[in-house]
Structure formats: structure tokens, C-alpha cells
């Protein structure tokens, strides 16, 4: 996911150390308020793909614009949410099977 757009975002922010307590440091992301939210998203995305490779992907519902972080044992999650996209896609598959089963057969097919 590295491209000119990402460079435009992360190229305008930096990590600034902040002293915390005796001998402690905390890092703060600094930069223009225009790019900070996008930079945080890019950094979180990169961190997640590095720590959990293959676990961040688009939702299996082609009409959905969300992504999911697959926490399943077999890395087989397909939907951003079972309550929304999962149930919607199951209902759609069920309706599709039902419709194809209801197609009247011609005498030759039976
Ligand atoms: Zn979805």
C-alpha cells in the first residue's frame, strides 16, 4: 500500500519524543492537522499488516466498503460483521438457491 498518496501523508508527519516521568519517553505524532488523521490510519494499517500478515482484507460483500481483521483460528473470516454483511450474504445465497430450485423444468429435463 505504498504509493505517492501514502508518501504525501506520512511525509508530512513525524514522531516527537515527550518526556514522561523520570527517564521515560512517550512518542507523539506531530504534523499538520490536515494530514494527521490520514497518517494515523496509514500507520495503524502498516502496523497491523506487519503484526498480523494476511489478516487484514476487504469484506467479502462486494457492496461493502469495510475491511476486516480476521481473528479466526483458520483465517477464514469473510465478513466485516456477521450481523450485517454475513447475514445479508447468507440470505442472498439462500434466496438464489430457492429461486433456481423453483425454475420450472421442461418435460425433457424431468
Ligand atoms: Zn461488510
d(C-alpha 51, C-alpha 45), whole Å: 10
Domain that holds residue 60: 54-103
Distance from Cα 66 to the centre of ligand 1, integer Å: 5
Residue 33 lies in a domain: yes
What pLDDT score does 110 carry? 47
Residue 74 lies in a domain: yes
What pLDDT score does 75 carry? 94
What pLDDT score does 101 carry? 79
What pLDDT score does 65 carry? 96
What pLDDT score does 100 carry? 82
pTM for this prediction: 0.64
For residues 82 and 72, is the Cβ–Cβ distance under 8 A? no
Ligand 1 ion: Cβ-proximal residues, 5 Å cutoff:
59, 61, 64, 66, 80, 85
**Do both 63 and 39 map to the same domain?**
no
d(C-alpha 77, C-alpha 58), whole Å: 11
Stretches where the chain sits below pLDDT 70 are: 1-4, 103-110
d(C-alpha 65, C-alpha 91), whole Å: 19
Distance from Cα 106 to the centre of ligand 1, integer Å: 39
Amino acid at each position: 500500500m505504498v504509493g505517492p498518496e501514502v508518501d504525501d501523508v506520512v511525509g508530512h508527519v513525524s514522531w516527537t519524543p515527550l518526556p514522561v516521568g523520570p527517564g521515560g519517553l512517550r512518542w507523539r505524532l506531530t504534523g499538520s492537522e490536515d494530514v494527521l488523521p490520514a497518517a494515523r490510519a496509514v500507520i495503524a494499517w502498516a502496523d497491523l499488516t506487519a503484526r498480523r500478515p494476511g489478516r487484514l482484507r476487504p469484506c467479502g460483500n462486494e457492496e461493502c466498503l469495510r475491511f476486516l481483521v480476521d481473528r479466526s483460528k483458520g483465517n477464514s473470516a469473510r465478513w466485516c460483521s456477521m450481523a450485517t454483511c454475513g447475514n445479508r450474504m447468507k440470505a442472498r445465497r439462500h434466496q438464489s438457491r430457492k429461486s433456481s430450485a423453483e425454475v420450472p423444468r421442461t418435460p425433457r429435463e424431468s
